Amino acid sequence: MHPLLQLDDDLLALILVKAGCWWIPGFLDPADFTIYTSALGVCRGWRDLLLQCPNNLAALLSEAHGPNEALMHAVVCTSHRVDRGALVRAVLKTARPDHLDGAALIDAAKHGHEDVVRQLLEWKENAPRADCQRGEALLVAAREGHEGIVKMLLEWKEYAPRADCQGGEVLLVAVEHGHVAIVRLLLESKAHTPRADCRDGIALTVASGLGHESIVRLLLDFGGRLPDGNFRSGRALVEAARGGHTAIIRLLLEDGLHAPRADFQDGMALVAAAESPSVAAVQLLLKWSEHAPRADCQEGRALVSAAAEGREAAVRLLLGWRVSPPRADSWNGLALIQAAEGGHKAVVRLLLGWREHAPRADCQDGEALVRAAVRGHLAIARLLIEWKEHAPRADCQDGAALVGAAINGREGMFRLLLDQSKGAWDAVHVERALEAARWNGNEEIAEMLESYSNAYLQIR
């Protein structure tokens, strides 16, 4: 007999044979495996054969990490070469399945290993409770969308977690991640069913904002109708509008006696819809048959929101609405200022050129120019400065545009502002800008300022 066989270790013998270190006639046919001769080959042989022997792998994990920590590794094993169930059984010979209040059960539920969850719950000694850690296994399974595990835990014969555990958090995470089947499971559970309007109706608001139409339908069907149900649906309406989800907007507004008004909280849904990419949501609210919001609600706040996000179609729709359209210069030209800051040139041009009540290009002492300069929107700054009426001065607000451009290193903007001034910049403004440029290491801008000062000013 070969000396190595006296170690009484069949696994080691197989590894050495596979690695090409030695071979005994009749023990293994070399044609059945690849002969490795490198050290890496030995390691590969060790890994491949070890993964096929759950008992040996369990012993190795337990020796390296301790039995309970070995169990944590075993329950999340994803290798296709390992019989996970056999590995867990082997580790459980020495480990406690309820270690750390069911941490292994929670990890198995999180990874969707339904067989391991059942195995742990059915273990003959020290099995974890299905509701361990206030139902954390149910929560993680719901979050990850593992419907089978959620169903198993809810129906477990002993210590099943409550479907409304953690104050309805399980329902909320299922809603947030769009797991329709799990939401239905929770709402249809036989005991301790979570209220569809739990936690002040936040589930409906979240589902509406994320565009989960099927879940919104479920929540409305199962919802507890409380006196303030309209308020809760109203918040959901605002979030649906913000996301531009027209189907959900329609669903909420058609919810019978509990439907919110389309002009909920003085048109908050319209203001939110104006921010969204969907002009259809704005149009749907404005055209609603009952209690439609005014296009100029909140003194034109919807127009300001649309302009800030660069929603040209929504701006045009609001300004041209046949009933109570907002003024283009609402809020002292705030729509123009927000559009300029966001770099939305088309919206800026649309507002400046509107046929009625157009905002002045120099409104709020040139605030639109200052914000465009700070953000580096050169085309918008040029459009404002060259506008045919009431163009803002390049040195408005004590040179704030020049200083802002210097601080942020907007070289092209800086050149535009200096060229427009035609030598009219005040020495104090130039000094402030020069200091800002040097402080931020913008040497090119500092050189431009020094050249300007040499040509027009005397700076000490």
pLDDT of the chain along its 460 residues, tens only? 334 334 344 445 555 555 555 444 554 555 544 444 555 566 666 777 777 788 888 988 898 899 999 999 999 988 888 899 999 999 999 999 999 999 999 999 999 999 999 999 999 999 999 999 999 999 999 999 999 999 999 999 999 999 999 999 999 999 999 999 999 999 999 889 998 888 888 999 999 999 999 999 999 988 654 434 556 789 999 999 999 999 999 999 998 878 899 999 999 999 999 999 999 999 999 999 999 999 999 999 999 999 999 999 999 999 999 999 999 999 999 999 999 999 999 999 999 999 999 999 999 999 999 999 999 999 999 999 999 999 999 888 988 888 888 777 777 887 888 777 655 667 777 777 778 778 877 777 777 777 777 665 554 3
User: Residues 219-245, buried b or exposed e (16+ Cβ, 10 A)?
Assistant: bbebbeeeeebbebbbbbbbbbbbbbb
Count of C-beta atoms within a 10 Å radius of residue 300: 24
Cα separation of 18 and 12, whole Å? 10
Cα separation of 239 and 273, whole Å? 9
Cα separation of 460 and 337, whole Å? 36
The residue to which tokens 């390992």 are assigned: 82
For 296-442, where are the alpha helices, taking DSSP H only? Answer: 297-308, 312-319, 330-342, 345-352, 363-375, 378-385, 396-407, 411-421, 427-439
All residues at 6 or more sequence positions from 178 whose CB lies less than 8 Å from its CB, including other chains? 210, 212, 215
Contact in structure between 30 and 23 (CB atoms under 8 Å)? yes
Output the six-digit token pair for 369.
Answer: 């120019």
Q: How far is CA 224 from CA 7, 14, 154, 165, in A?
A: 71, 65, 22, 18
Contact in structure between 427 and 449 (CB atoms under 8 Å)? no
Output the six-digit token pair for 199.
Answer: 């936690």
All residues at 6 or more sequence positions from 88 whose CB lies less than 8 Å from its CB, including other chains? 71, 74, 75, 116, 119, 120
For 111-253, where are the alpha helices, taking DSSP H only? Answer: 114-121, 132-144, 147-154, 165-176, 180-187, 198-210, 213-222, 229-242, 246-253
Residue 36: CA count within 13 A, CB half-sphere: 16
- Degrees, nearest 5: CA angle 212-216-217: 120
H or E element in which residue 161 lies: none
DSSP class of residue 23?
-
